[in-house]
């Protein structure tokens, strides 16, 4: 860090010199003569008396753009006769600025720090001998993945596009959906080494200004060497570190981000990652799939199913442990005898058995993500054998336990937002311990603790459990069930505190002139 700081301070002071060769020497020295740095020296003007150089980083620039820009410049610069406006460096600069139509933008720089930033971001710098300024042409263009289909948050009905690693592509994906002039964007660079572009997008007039101010402040507070993913940003600015629950929403879907913006949220887009952050977030948001809004409103009842799956995923193993160790009287007699038959000969208590199976599954799941793709099929064979038949036949676990683990595992994937499945995975183990020690009493103590914790959370000032706690009747239209769109007339109250009315469509009815 110290080394970086020192360097930075030095280059900030230095301004571009009047002699070209000094400047080139300086660039070469600072960048360590890196091989991807291209410095091509040219001669322009009458008889090539004026020396000039263009500097850019190979791979970050679109060479076609440079050609399109430089070619006509060079040709026309030769055509102009001496004494007709191409003699002094100032005149050349003006001439150049007149030709900006062919490239995106052109600006002047005077110091080396902006020169390096431009060169390393993919811009091309034009230096002219005798001029203590540089000209930056925007020529960014590098290999990227292109907009591809969503891989995490897939839907049956709805757009397939997902964000990419390029910031500009991502903002364009949002712009293409919201063509309002009030969709504003601010960009800052975070990371002293990485100089990562971080943009915040919001719709002026809908966004809660206090939240916006808070986001800006928190982003400005970050002082770190590098930001490689939006997760880095999230960790630096989230409200609460010691909670299993995410206090920021992340998505790879432009439509989800746009919907968030229209509800008054702020999107934080980080260059180099397809994951966009949305703040503030509430608990219920993790149960809302984008598809809920694209299908007819009765499909929104799926959310109730997701809540059931949430509880199953959180509680199924602990409930099984509690009932089989402490509360056998809760079961119907025939079921108890059935379970007792299965447990006959199993050497471990239900808790150990459940822990064993849950751990096995978690290992399989982790391995499934991390493992090279070619070995993929192997894990399904091993997984099916270990979790399934073999464990039972070896007499280590009961078949009922397998069912419990399977339903737990599969319920964990029901959430539209994968961020919510992580806290459940953690809390599940805690609750299993509580169930093994105190039975259902323990589970309830655990649940009460979780609930209290959830109520104490805030995301950028908005209570995490709203609109349930604090309760808001109107916002219930978009929690457990989704009301028809024409019924959801207002935006979530705590998210956007002004400009509440979202739409005023009439309840659709057959018209007077129906056939």
Partner 1 sequence: MELAIVVGIGIDKKENEYVVSSQVVIPSEAGGQKASPIGYAPTTKFVASAPTIIEAFRKMTTISPRRMYTSHVRILVIGEEVAEEGLQDVLDYFYRDRTFRLDFYVVIARKTKAENILSIFTKLEKIPSVSLFTSLATSEKTYSNARGVHLDELINTMVSPGKNPVLTGLTIIGDETQGETKDNIQRITPHTRLKISTLGVLKKDKLVGWLSDKESRGFNFITGQVMGSVGDVVLPSGGKVAVEAFRSEAHMKSRIRRGEPEMEIKILTEGDIAEVDGSIDLMEQKNIQMLENLLEQRIKHLAESAIEKGQTKLKSDIFGFGEVIHRQHPKIWNKLQKNWAEDFVDVPVRIKVDAKLRRTGKVLDSFIEELNKK
**Which spans of this chain sit near partner 1 (rule: CB under 8 A)?**
324-325, 328-329, 333-334, 336-345, 350
C-beta of 181 vs 332, nearer to partner 1: 332
Contact 462, 495 (CB under 8 A): yes
Q: How many CB atoms lie within 10 A of CB 435?
A: 29
SS3 content of the chain, % helix, strand, coil (to 5): 50, 15, 35
Those residues whose C-beta lies under 8 Å from the C-beta of residue 332, and which sit 6 or more positions away, are: none
C-beta of 337 vs 363, nearer to partner 1: 337
C-beta of 330 vs 375, nearer to partner 1: 330
Q: DSSP string of 224-263?
A: -S---SHHHHHHHH-S-SS-SS-SSEEES-HHHHHHHHHT
Chain centroid offset of residue 320 CA: 37
- Can you name the residues that pair with 501 across neighbouring β-strands? 490
Tell the smallest beta-carbon distance from residue 334 to partner 1 (Å). Answer: 7
Query: Can you list the alpha helix ranges (DSSP code H) found in 222-249?
Result: 230-237
Tokens for 361? Answer: 């599954």
C-beta of 47 vs 334, nearer to partner 1: 334
C-beta of 336 vs 364, nearer to partner 1: 336
299 membership: H or E segment, kind and range: none
Q: What is the CA radius of gyration of the chain?
A: 30
Tell the smallest beta-carbon distance from residue 329 to partner 1 (Å). Answer: 3
Q: DSSP string of 321-361?
A: HHHHHT-GGGS-HHHHHHHHHHHTT--S-HHHHHHHHHHHH
C-beta of 319 vs 415, nearer to partner 1: 319
Q: What is the DSSP letter of 465?
A: T
Tell the smallest beta-carbon distance from residue 358 to partner 1 (Å). Answer: 19
Tell the smallest beta-carbon distance from residue 375 to partner 1 (Å). Answer: 36
Closest C-alpha to 70, from 117, 102, 93: 102
How many helices and strands in the chain, by DSSP H and E? Answer: 17, 12
Tell the smallest beta-carbon distance from residue 343 to partner 1 (Å). Answer: 5
C-beta of 323 vs 424, nearer to partner 1: 323
Closest C-alpha to 317, from 419, 427, 480: 427
C-beta of 154 vs 325, nearer to partner 1: 325
């Amino acid at each position: 860090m110290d080394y970086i700081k020192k360097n930075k301070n030095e280059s900030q002071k230095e301004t571009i010199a009047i002699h070209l060769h000094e400047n080139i020497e300086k660039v070469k020295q600072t960048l360590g003569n890196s091989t991807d740095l291209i410095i091509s020296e040219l001669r322009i003007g009458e008889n090539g008396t004026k020396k000039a150089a263009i500097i850019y980083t190979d791979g970050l620039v679109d060479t076609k753009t440079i050609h399109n820009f430089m070619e006509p410049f060079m040709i026309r610069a030769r055509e102009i006769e001496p004494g007709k406006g191409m003699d002094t460096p100032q005149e050349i600069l003006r001439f150049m600025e007149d030709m900006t139509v062919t490239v995106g933008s052109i600006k002047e720089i005077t110091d080396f720090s902006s020169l390096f930033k431009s060169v390393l971001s993919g811009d091309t710098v034009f230096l002219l001998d005798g001029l203590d300024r540089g000209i930056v042409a925007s020529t960014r263009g590098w290999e990227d993945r292109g907009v591809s289909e969503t891989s995490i948050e897939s839907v049956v009905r709805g757009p397939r596009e997902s964000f990419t690693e390029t910031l500009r592509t991502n903002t364009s994906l949002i712009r293409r959906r919201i063509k309002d002039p009030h969709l504003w964007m601010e960009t800052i660079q975070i990371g002293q080494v990485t100089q990562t572009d971080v943009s915040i997008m919001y719709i002026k007039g809908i966004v809660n200004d206090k939240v916006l101010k808070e986001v800006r402040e928190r982003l400005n507070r970050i002082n770190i060497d590098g930001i490689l993913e939006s997760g880095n940003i999230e960790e630096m600015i989230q409200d609460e570190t010691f909670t299993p629950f995410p206090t920021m929403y992340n998505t790879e879907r432009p439509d989800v981000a746009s919907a968030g913006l229209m509800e008054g949220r702020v999107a934080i887009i980080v260059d180099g990652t397809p994951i966009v952050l949305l703040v503030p977030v509430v608990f219920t948001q993790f149960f809302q799939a984008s598809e809920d809004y694209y299908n007819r409103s009765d499909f929104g009842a799926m959310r109730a199913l997701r809540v059931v799956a949430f509880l199953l995923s959180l509680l199924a193993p602990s409930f099984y442990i509690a009932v089989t160790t402490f509360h056998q009287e809760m079961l119907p007699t025939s079921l108890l005898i059935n379970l007792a038959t299965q447990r006959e000969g199993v050497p471990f208590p239900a808790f150990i058995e459940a822990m064993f199976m849950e751990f096995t599954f978690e290992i399989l799941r982790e391995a499934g993500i991390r493992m090279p793709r070619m070995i993929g099929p192997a894990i399904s064979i091993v997984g099916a054998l270990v979790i399934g038949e073999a464990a039972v036949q070896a007499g280590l676990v009961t078949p009922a336990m397998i069912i419990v683990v399977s339903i737990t595992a599969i319920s964990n994937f029901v959430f539209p937002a994968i961020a919510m499945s992580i806290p459940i995975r953690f809390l599940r183990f805690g609750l299993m311990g509580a169930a093994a020690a105190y039975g259902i009493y323990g589970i309830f103590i655990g649940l009460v603790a979780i609930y209290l914790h959830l109520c104490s959370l805030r995301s950028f000032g908005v209570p995490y459990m709203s609109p349930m706690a604090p309760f808001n009747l109107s916002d219930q239209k978009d929690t457990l069930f989704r009301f028809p769109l024409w019924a959801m007339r207002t935006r979530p109250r705590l998210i956007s505190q002004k400009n509440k009315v979202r739409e005023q469509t009439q309840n659709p009815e057959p018209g007077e002139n129906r056939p």
